Amino acid sequence: MATAAQAPTRRAAAQAAVAGRIYAYLRVSTDAQELASQKVGIVDYAKARSLRVDEWIEEKVSGTVDASKRDLGMRLLPKLQPRDELIIPELSRLGRSTVDVLGTLKQLSERRVKVHVVKGAMVLDDSINSKILSTVLGLAAEIERDLLRQRSMEGQARAKAAGKHIGRPPIERDEDRRSKLDIHADDIKRLAGRGVTKLNLARVFQCDWLTMSEWLRRHDVRIAKETR
């Protein structure tokens, strides 16, 4: 039979198992001082709410890197289990854009992980407030995509107005390639018959060796006494 002293310890262990583990995630680009500042903020937040961080994930990586290619996506997300909790300094730490942040939050929600955001003292869980916030973020992501698409269209319009080609480079058609040398067809065949090399033919008719070689191949013209 458990003693009176052992009972609280077992209850605490059972509660911890039900509550899951608490993780803290910090990310900065290069500034170590900012990393320390984020950590202090998380410590103060956790202390005020009687939360004990079980594991810290810290990384220095540019915010332009997709979340799936950081420790966040490769180390942290795969190990999170239902009822775990994640503390972050601010939502921007979770992604490089609103769309990216929303995608990470969706994964956390699917894993039933409670997210604490120090900046703004927000808690994202199954509550109605969290669902409202997710809806707002979803709208923000949609707006961001629309703005990016609009800026892209405006940029293309400006480039087109300036006479720049939009899209892939135009493919040079066979008839366009032929027209450059076809007017010299008789001269090319005559010189080739005399043994003038492809390189010298290209020099004479002011084109590159590959263009001349392709023209000769298409017209089945052979260089007399050409070494093969």
Residue 59 sits at φ, ψ, to 5 deg, of: -150, 150
| Beta-carbon contacts of residue 137 (< 8 Å; ≥ 6 apart) | 98, 101, 102, 105
Q: What is the DSSP letter of 197?
A: -
Q: What is the 3-state secondary structure (H, E, C) of 107-124?
A: HHHHCCCEEEECCCCEEE
What's the longest Cα–Cα distance across the chain?
111
Contact 156, 166 (CB under 8 A): yes
Does residue 29 have an active-site annotation?
A: yes
Contact 26, 58 (CB under 8 A): yes
Half-sphere exposure of 28 (CA within 13 A, CB side): 11
Residues 24 and 39: their CA atoms lie apart, in Å, by: 9
Q: Which residues are catalytic?
A: 29
